[in-house]
Structure 1
């Protein structure tokens, strides 16, 4: 308990230190060009004001003591007079860079004038020189701005006790106590506001970094969905085509050549889409790909590719794509693409019904396949396509319903709003 009480005073008098000075102090101006010969290019106005005040305090104290010394020589001599004047003015100059050290110098200098018989009562009443009060208030303010609260409190207590122990004059106790208290409170308020401003800036920076990381994650998820849709659909069609073409050709070179040409066309289309998706990542200048995204007008191509792969697909289209946002069109396209890919992987040979209906307020996409004739072996990574579809639908504010049908097939139905909610 006693150590906790003594620690603040130990920090204030011996061990403590102030926070680093601001990198760019306030009230700083750039020197004009016609003053280019000056050794500094930026002037700290507060420091310049402190220097002027210190010079006035030094001159006032020195003239007062030398005048009294000429009338009646002091026992301490002229050297002690200069040392006293310097110890009164120097802390004002040092308070911006080393506030706690400046207060200690002022305390020791004032203490020396009490211990050494300078007969200060001959200069002023109360005992303290006029400049001591100014220096004490300015130093205490700097300590409160740059030091911890416990150090500031200890400095204030030591200053008040020292002032009371040296001079019990009512004016000294009243004016000095009020001045020191106001300086400490005002400096502490400035420190609190600066700390709050710094914390707010740090919080804004953390928020900015978090938003950037979130945006990066969202972009990675978007690219992953695009890559999954492109690779899964085209590779499924290509794999089925590669198996079906030799069986259908049965030695017919022309039909085999036609089937291989279809496989080549699907491969080139897959490569083109992969290049479009990866174009942003490979662009060193950050330019985005300007090629149009697939939309509802290309759903027929998906169905045609699926039919080429041997899938029986019935397409129903109702309405027009005019006025449908590109994001909604891309989402509908990817849902049809992923659904057909899932049928090829999990229910090969099953007939599929694809319906795209444009209603006034939404676009409804429905893909239903019948029960598979032969249950294929389990495919690794099952379920990722459905998760990607749900994410896409959620991004445009729609709803997705998936699940088995009573006949043993599978149904995917999405409702995509045309206008944002």
Structure 2
């Protein structure tokens, strides 16, 4: 309930201020009415008359309606009105409480220097009022009224500090919410990029193999039907494998939370199958493993698999007839060296700078603190060399 009232007051500040000031206005009107039925001379307001007296009261009250928006201007108007009242010799009235309200408004809504200035002005006004009312200054009475004024002044400064603190909390909360949304967008973008790389690797490799096999079947269908049937069986197997991988990736994106089991992520154990499929597509591939094999994290295994897949796919597409490829994995003490070379004409084939394949390789390896070099070979062909930290080096960089 209080939260709704606070929200409503923020939406309607003018109505809120009028409601807060209405009791003050009521008491002030009663004060004017009481003076009107009594003696103005007793208050030193005989020269003003009743209407002048009422006008003085309005000058002390009406500006408070703009206190929220113009606290310094309202305080200046009320202070000057009080000083005019002192010059005319009119005794302090209930209306004069407005100067304390205006001082509180300045202290609660403006910097400290304005609050100090408003407090000093009010203290000076109290001293002038007491000097006229009590020729022999009553120190105890002045100290009591002054202490009351200082308490209101301190309350205004406290309200100002608390308001600024709450505004700071709200600003930090909004900034944290914006940063959270930004991080969510970045995470979503990273996930989309990862899925795009996966889709590219799956589709580019498998479709390239299927195209090569289908072309071979088209040439052999008249002269060697059995070879054509074998090629079409390879197309079918490759298509099923690609479909299984795509189902696995799309299953990650399911929004209904249903867990479905599809083919696992490719790993080093499936490199032999990959090389066999490429060989069946007509590209002779030699696969070597040097050094003592070591257990790699699943992420690094997938990275190695995708690099070999992408490099052999490029050889299939650009290497030309009678090209050969060599895949070497060399396990060192602190890194895994992966080399994929071919002797085809791929070095002369036009390659778009920033294509998905090479960019995907570099992004995958960069996640583990490694590097990739892809360039034409010195004696022709094309070569891809990747270095992946392993063991403690790889774990430290990946973290």
TM-score using structure 2 length: 0.68
Structure 1 residues 114 and 166 mapped into 2: Cα distance closer, same or farther (>3 Å)? Answer: farther
Moved more, 99-108 or 218-227: 99-108
Distance 2:192 2:207 in 1: 22
Distance 1:355 1:376 in 2: 20
- Partner of 2:328, secondary structure, is strand
Aligned to 1:17: none
The Cα shift of 1:340 comes to 0.8
Determine if the alignment matches structure 1 residue 134 to structure 2 residue 100. Answer: yes
The Cα shift of 1:262 comes to 1.3
Q: Are the counterparts in 2 of residues 88 and 135 from structure 1 also a CA contact under 8 Å? A: no
Q: Are the counterparts in 1 of residues 108 and 160 from structure 2 also a CA contact under 8 Å? A: no
The Cα shift of 1:321 comes to 6.8
Distance 1:248 1:301 in 2: 24
The Cα shift of 1:103 comes to 6.3
Distance 1:375 1:410 in 2: 6
The Cα shift of 1:184 comes to 8.3
- Mind listing any 5+ residue stretches in structure 1 that lack a counterpart? 1-27, 32-39
Pairing partner for 1:367 from 331, 334, 340: 340
Aligned to 2:136: none
What are the equivalent positions in structure 2 for 1:60-79 lying under 5 Å apart? 66=34, 70=38, 75=46
Once the two structures are superposed, what CA deviation does each residue of 1:38-73 show, in whole Å capped at 9, x if it has no partner? xx69998xx999988985797599669947974666
The Cα shift of 1:233 comes to 0.9
Distance 1:64 1:263 in 2: 102
Distance 2:8 2:109 in 1: 23
Pairing partner for 1:293 from 254, 265, 268: 265
Q: Are the counterparts in 2 of residues 99 and 142 from structure 1 also a CA contact under 8 Å? A: no
Q: How many residues align?
A: 368
Determine if the alignment matches structure 1 residue 350 to structure 2 residue 316. Answer: no
Structure 1 residues 72 and 329 mapped into 2: Cα distance closer, same or farther (>3 Å)? Answer: same
More helix by share: 2
Determine if the alignment matches structure 1 residue 107 to structure 2 residue 80. Answer: no
Structure 1 residues 241 and 141 mapped into 2: Cα distance closer, same or farther (>3 Å)? Answer: same
Moved more, 112-121 or 408-417: 112-121
Once the two structures are superposed, what CA deviation does each residue of 1:129-165 show, in whole Å capped at 9, x if it has no partner? 65134222122234428xxx9xx96x99799889979
Determine if the alignment matches structure 1 residue 381 to structure 2 residue 352. Answer: yes
- Partner of 1:120, secondary structure, is coil
Once the two structures are superposed, what CA deviation does each residue of 1:171-224 show, in whole Å capped at 9, x if it has no partner? 799969989987887777667656655554454344334333332332232122
What are the equivalent positions in structure 2 for 1:399-410 lying under 5 Å apart? 399-410=371-382
Q: Are the counterparts in 1 of residues 108 and 158 from structure 2 also a CA contact under 8 Å? A: no
- Partner of 1:415, secondary structure, is strand
